[in-house]
Structure 1
Amino acid sequence: MQTLPRVLEIPDVFSNLKELRTLHLSNNSFIGSFPSSILSLTHLEYLGLTNNSLSGPLPSNQSMLQKLTELNLSYNSLNGTIPSWVFSLPLLSSVSLQHNRFRGLADEVIKTNPTLKELHLSNNHLSGSFPQSLVNLTNLETLGISSNNITIDEGMNITFLSLSSLFLSSCQLKDFPHFLRNVKTLQVLDISNNKICGQIPNWFSGMTWDSLQFLNLSHNSLTGHLPQFRYYNLQYLDLKFNFLQGSLPLSICNMRKLILLDLSHNYFSDSVPHCLGIMASLTVLNLRKNNFTGSLPPLCAQSTSLSTIVVNGNRFEGPVPVSLLKCDRLEVLDVGNNVINDTFPAWLGTLQELQVLILKSNKFHGPISTCQTKFCFPKLRIFDLSHNDFSGSLPAKVFGNFKAMIKLDGEDTGNIKYMESMSNLPFVRSYEDSVSLVIKGQDIELERISTITTTIDLSNNHFEGVIPKTLKDLSSLWLLNLSHNNLIGHIPMELGQLNTLEALDLSWNRLTGKIPQELTRMNFLAVFNLSQNHLIGPIPHGLQFNTFENDSYGGNLDLCGPPLSKQCGTSDSSHVPQPLESEEDEGETYFFSGFTWESIVIGYSFGLVVGTVMWSLMFKYRKPKWFVEFFDGLMPHKRRRPKKRAQRRRT
């Protein structure tokens, strides 16, 4: 194998290398056109120029590459038509031209090539009907035409007797390709991201593809019920983002080799078959945003292979199944937005691989209990318990277990990776986990979870007590939301050590004291909310604090200084509001906290006018006693209400 020095443009000197058998120049920065002298290398067997910046058309003159078996020109900017010699080389078995700008194939009819097994044309600018020239390549095993504007006529006679992998995603298809009726050897079928609508046809669901392992029908407009598939060797089934409804067919239970099942973003209903808990190979289960009801199935009851469980956005009820204790490979558990009624499942801390735990928007209640094991939640990076009925104090010991949120000395933060669940299929890339989080005030669904996404969201609960100082140890924390609770005491100045924090929300609590100057050390802080507390004194300045607006501090009547209009020194800043003792007192506090000087002036002016008029009428008709009795009847005597513990209103 000969190598050439890396240059910007490939020199056209290959005519002097007649004996060259392998030319591998991939993953460089070559520009310019395809060197035509390469076509004269009569002994060349492998040609690889992938992942460069080559442009222009391929030479149309006759090729001398009679011994070439593999051609890879993918990931360039080549354009024009694909010349016929590409498909007519006698020994050629694999052609990869994906991710270029080719607009069509040469007009010449391609002769039958019995050696061509793989053809990759995805991500080009091909348009119109399915290329008639490709119909003659009857021995193809892999055909990729994804991300083109190809149409397939129903009456087109296409016969691929040996086709095993077909990629037709993002091709503007409006119907299932009818030529699939003639294919008996299919292993991989991807027709996702098209415009296929209506029910899955009977002929399709009735196909006896015993070899089918991968089926992707996602991102279409499929409706109706899911048919009884007979693909018993299926390992990958992706139906997300359709309009499918009804119960899951029992044929799901016969797919015992399933590795991935993604039914998210549909309208499936009723309970989930318990057989999902005994599938030995199931690694990814995603049921997000459907209408499933009943209790969660006993997942991992007889299997420990699950790494991702997402059931967010359904109507599951009951407790978290204890069978999850056997999911020793579990990395993502998202049961948010259901009606699960349970206490905090501290026993999940024994799952040493768990990185994402989302329990938000359910009916969880009680305190956050601590684990009984030495290593508890050691890899947890996303911890979301928001919008539940948790109570008690914030457990400092639990936070101390979150070792994955601690930035270690020498740790490489520049190398960002994403969470993946391995599919174990050689022809499929890994499945990337996704999650929905409230980020900077907005509910955002992250299509990929990066290794630097470290969040704690305990908002909208009934937590009491002080903010633990141990939070300072979570040095890689990215988002911290403790809003809408009953937290008291001062803001720990130690939080200023969280120098990677981008969002901090402590609003709607009962925090007192001054805002620590140490918080100005947080250089990456983009969202900061301390509103609706009882904080006092001047607002610190410097770095990120100079960018925050009034709404970061609203509802704290004794805060002063920019960006607020209230100047420091105009009132007794040492006054600390008394704790709220009754619902009545709290309601009055919220009522008056909304008044501004404009509303006071308007009320005063209105009262002055009304009072003057009533005073004049009273003396004009000389019946002051009648007016006194009239207004006394409108003002019932105030009764004292029994004092009870204030309950904060959740918003």
Structure 2
Amino acid sequence: MEPRIHKFLGEIPTTIGNLGSLNTLDLRSCNFSGSIPSAPGNLTSLIYLEISNNSFVGNIPSSIGNLIQLSDLDLSVNQLIGRIPFGHGNLTQLSYLSLRYNLLNGEIPFPLMNLTKLTSLQLGNNNLQGRIPDSIFNLKNLKHLDLGRISFSGSVEFGKCMQNFGASLLVIDLERNKFQGSIPQTWTQGTELRIINLRQNRFQGQLPRSLAKCMMLEVADFSDNKLHDLFPSLHDLFPSWLENLPNLKVLNLRSNNFHGQIGTSKPGSKFPNLRVIDLSHNGFTGKLPLEIFGNWKQHSEFANSDILSYIQVNSSIVPRRYTCNSWLYAYNYTMTMTNKGVAVFYEKVQELFKAIDISSNKFGGEISESIENLKGFHLHNLSNNVLTGHIPPSLANLTELESLDLSENNLSGEIPQQLTQLTFLGFFNVSNNLLTGPIPQGNQFGTFGNNSYEGNSELCGRPLSKNFEDSNASPAPPSLFPVDQSQKSGSPFQFGWEILVVVVVGYASGLVVGVTIGHIVITRKRDWFMNIFGIKQLAR
């Protein structure tokens, strides 16, 4: 095995172009800077060229188009600018091309679509514009297509895309563009698609029912679009036609225009491998669909492992033949989800992570005790709905819960003391409900602040200033000297002069007699007394 060059600084020396017999050049993560010299274009025997994760600037040298034997080209994670050279269309042996995470602009050059041996095309995280060339769908060997986080616009011919790509495509990432139109219903039986990520676009219409044919699908992310759904019959209610996908791990429909009730599950397995579901910020109604998720697996195969595993397309599926070591490419799914009250971006999603977010909908009714069946959850967000009834004590059985948000509902009754058993709970929010009684004390509940409980006027106990004893205190005895209610908003002296009468008379006659006489005088000779002592003018 050839040694890998590493820990160099500065620019690549132009003399590197003298190594005419070199077939592998791996300079990734070496702290190189400056522009890429044209000298590598003289290395016509190169099969593998890797200079990713450096600080290169300037344009991609057109001389790279001379490397007609090149199979792998990776210039990703630099600061390259300008257009993609048309000369790249000469690299007909290329199977892997990654230019992602640069500052490239302009359109995708049409000659690039002549690279029919491409299995991985990664152009994401650039400043490219225009439309995706239709000819891109002729790349029938493509397994991984990353055109996300660019500025593409227009509609995408998904029907043509799926028909031409066939069963080879494993990952399609068009995240954060300006694509519009509908997603077609032409997903075919036998496709090996693992991840589809279309989030943050302008797609409209229905989710294609033919997605149910994608039996290998692990991630379906359509969040932040304008999708809605029409339900021809009760048997077609979402998501009954998706729940039997055996490998589905993530379903993300956050921030769309979905509405209506969630349908009853079919008999048998229900989302057997689902870990994360986000239906937040839609218009779903009806009861909480807890029974749909009741059979989720515990995934003990990951729990017993010391190695962190992530939701990704297995690196061995996109092989790179001429690596200098065992490093292989893997596509990691990323997502944004509300956790502990804030939007959190996950660069990687652990296989063990389990979360439900169905907040900001119109779900109503009570939270069923069956919620205890959702074992192994880390995040549970039911906030901003119209839920009623009590908080079920059975929530205490979700022993791995780290974040529980029940705020902005109509929940009533007391907070169950059993919730103090949730020793991993780092975030708890029941604000703006109708809760009453004492706040549970002990364990994690000693760490939650006032904002976890605000908007519940009948709650008491720490951390609120209202103590439980105060809320149960007896009413104050009636005043010895009742105040005329019509005078309550007047001058403060209107009450003070009455006390003065008692003090004066009491001083002269003794306390008990004075109080009695004073009360008679105040009641019967009020005006006379005020004139005598000049209090009337003072009261004004």
Q: TM-score range by the shorter chain?
A: 0.7 to 0.9
Letter in 1 for 2:247: E
Counterpart of 1:264? 148
Distance in 2 of aligned mates of 1:289 and 1:608? 64
Distance in 2 of aligned mates of 1:160 and 1:198? 23
Deviation sequence 1:70-112 (CA, Å, 0-9, x none): xxxxxxxxxxxxxxxxxxxxxxxx322xxxxxxxxxxxxxxxx
Distance in 2 of aligned mates of 1:246 and 1:157? 30
Counterpart of 2:171? 284
Measured after TM superposition, the shift of residue 521 of structure 1 is: 0.5
Measured after TM superposition, the shift of residue 213 of structure 1 is: 0.6
Deviation sequence 1:551-577 (CA, Å, 0-9, x none): 00000000001100011132369xxxx
Counterpart of 2:429? 529
Measured after TM superposition, the shift of residue 608 of structure 1 is: 6.8
Name the SS of the counterpart of 2:182 in structure 1: coil
Counterpart of 2:64? 180
Q: 1:153 to 1:489 in 2, by over 3 A?
A: closer
Name the SS of the counterpart of 1:196 in structure 2: strand
Letter in 2 for 1:199: R
Name the SS of the counterpart of 2:411 in structure 1: strand
Counterpart of 1:412? 304
Distance in 1 of aligned mates of 2:19 and 2:106? 36
Distance in 1 of aligned mates of 2:33 and 2:239? 51
Q: 1:130 to 1:372 in 2, by over 3 A?
A: same
Counterpart of 1:212? 94
Measured after TM superposition, the shift of residue 473 of structure 1 is: 2.0
Q: 1:165 to 1:468 in 2, by over 3 A?
A: same
Of 547-556 and 152-161, deviating more is: 152-161
Measured after TM superposition, the shift of residue 300 of structure 1 is: 2.6
Contact 1:509-1:532 within 8 A present in 2 as well? yes
Letter in 2 for 1:466: E
Contact 1:347-1:371 within 8 A present in 2 as well? no
Counterpart of 1:203? 87
Distance in 2 of aligned mates of 1:190 and 1:559? 60
Q: 1:407 to 1:486 in 2, by over 3 A?
A: same
Counterpart of 1:540? 440
Measured after TM superposition, the shift of residue 409 of structure 1 is: 11
Q: 1:153 to 1:219 in 2, by over 3 A?
A: closer
Distance in 1 of aligned mates of 2:225 and 2:38? 47
Contact 1:407-1:476 within 8 A present in 2 as well? no
Q: Does 2:2 correspond to 1:95?
A: yes
Contact 2:97-2:122 within 8 A present in 1 as well? yes
Distance in 2 of aligned mates of 1:409 and 1:135? 50
Q: 2:198 aligns with which of 311, 336, 348?
A: 311
Measured after TM superposition, the shift of residue 137 of structure 1 is: 2.4
Counterpart of 2:335? 435
Counterpart of 1:161? 44
Counterpart of 2:383? 483
Name the SS of the counterpart of 2:471 in structure 1: coil
Q: Does 2:279 correspond to 1:385?
A: yes
Contact 2:378-2:402 within 8 A present in 1 as well? yes
Q: 1:142 to 1:550 in 2, by over 3 A?
A: same
Q: 1:227 to 1:407 in 2, by over 3 A?
A: closer
Q: Does 2:463 correspond to 1:550?
A: no
Measured after TM superposition, the shift of residue 488 of structure 1 is: 0.6
Measured after TM superposition, the shift of residue 437 of structure 1 is: 1.1
Deviation sequence 1:523-564 (CA, Å, 0-9, x none): 111110000001000101111000000000000000001100
Contact 1:161-1:184 within 8 A present in 2 as well? yes
Distance in 2 of aligned mates of 1:157 and 1:240? 24
Q: 2:21 aligns with which of 116, 134, 139?
A: 139
Distance in 1 of aligned mates of 2:362 and 2:134? 42
Q: 1:531 to 1:434 in 2, by over 3 A?
A: same
More helix by share: 2
Q: 1:410 to 1:130 in 2, by over 3 A?
A: closer
Give the TM-score normalised by structure 2.
0.80
* Sequence identity (%): 39
Q: Does 2:293 correspond to 1:399?
A: yes
Q: Does 2:280 correspond to 1:371?
A: no
Counterpart of 1:331? 218
Distance in 1 of aligned mates of 2:194 and 2:401? 28
Of 417-426 and 233-242, deviating more is: 417-426
Counterpart of 1:466? 366
Distance in 2 of aligned mates of 1:282 and 1:572? 66
Contact 2:286-2:364 within 8 A present in 1 as well? yes
Contact 2:302-2:352 within 8 A present in 1 as well? no
Show structure 2 runs of 5+ residues with no match.
230-236, 321-327, 474-488, 495-540
Q: 1:132 to 1:269 in 2, by over 3 A?
A: closer
Name the SS of the counterpart of 2:28 in structure 1: coil
Counterpart of 1:70? none
Give the TM-score normalised by structure 1.
0.67
Q: Does 2:319 correspond to 1:426?
A: yes
Superposition pairs of residues 67-78 of structure 1, within 5 angstroms: none
Q: 1:448 to 1:347 in 2, by over 3 A?
A: same
Measured after TM superposition, the shift of residue 457 of structure 1 is: 0.4
Q: 1:409 to 1:158 in 2, by over 3 A?
A: closer
Q: 2:468 aligns with which of 568, 573, 579?
A: 568
Letter in 1 for 2:177: N
RMSD over aligned Cα atoms? 2.3
Counterpart of 1:351? 245
Distance in 1 of aligned mates of 2:11 and 2:62? 14
Q: 1:189 aligns with which of 73, 85, 94?
A: 73
Q: 1:157 to 1:415 in 2, by over 3 A?
A: closer
Superposition pairs of residues 220-299 of structure 1, within 5 angstroms: 220-228=102-110, 229=112, 230-274=114-158, 275-278=160-163, 279-280=165-166, 281-298=168-185
Distance in 1 of aligned mates of 2:193 and 2:148? 17
Measured after TM superposition, the shift of residue 410 of structure 1 is: 11
Q: 1:156 to 1:519 in 2, by over 3 A?
A: same
Letter in 2 for 1:225: E
Name the SS of the counterpart of 2:444 in structure 1: helix
Distance in 1 of aligned mates of 2:299 and 2:18? 59
Higher relative contact order (CA 8 A, sep 6+): 2
Deviation sequence 1:6-50 (CA, Å, 0-9, x none): xxxxxxxxxxxxxxxxxxxxxxxxxxxxxxxxxxxxxxxxxxxxx
Counterpart of 1:49? none
Contact 2:302-2:351 within 8 A present in 1 as well? no
Distance in 2 of aligned mates of 1:409 and 1:95? 37
Contact 2:17-2:39 within 8 A present in 1 as well? no
Measured after TM superposition, the shift of residue 452 of structure 1 is: 1.5
Letter in 2 for 1:352: P
Counterpart of 2:8? 126
Counterpart of 2:481? none
Deviation sequence 1:418-446 (CA, Å, 0-9, x none): 12213523224222222221121222221
Q: 1:548 to 1:407 in 2, by over 3 A?
A: farther
Contact 1:515-1:539 within 8 A present in 2 as well? yes
Contact 1:277-1:297 within 8 A present in 2 as well? no
Measured after TM superposition, the shift of residue 145 of structure 1 is: 0.6
Name the SS of the counterpart of 2:76 in structure 1: coil
Name the SS of the counterpart of 2:432 in structure 1: coil
Distance in 1 of aligned mates of 2:301 and 2:64? 56
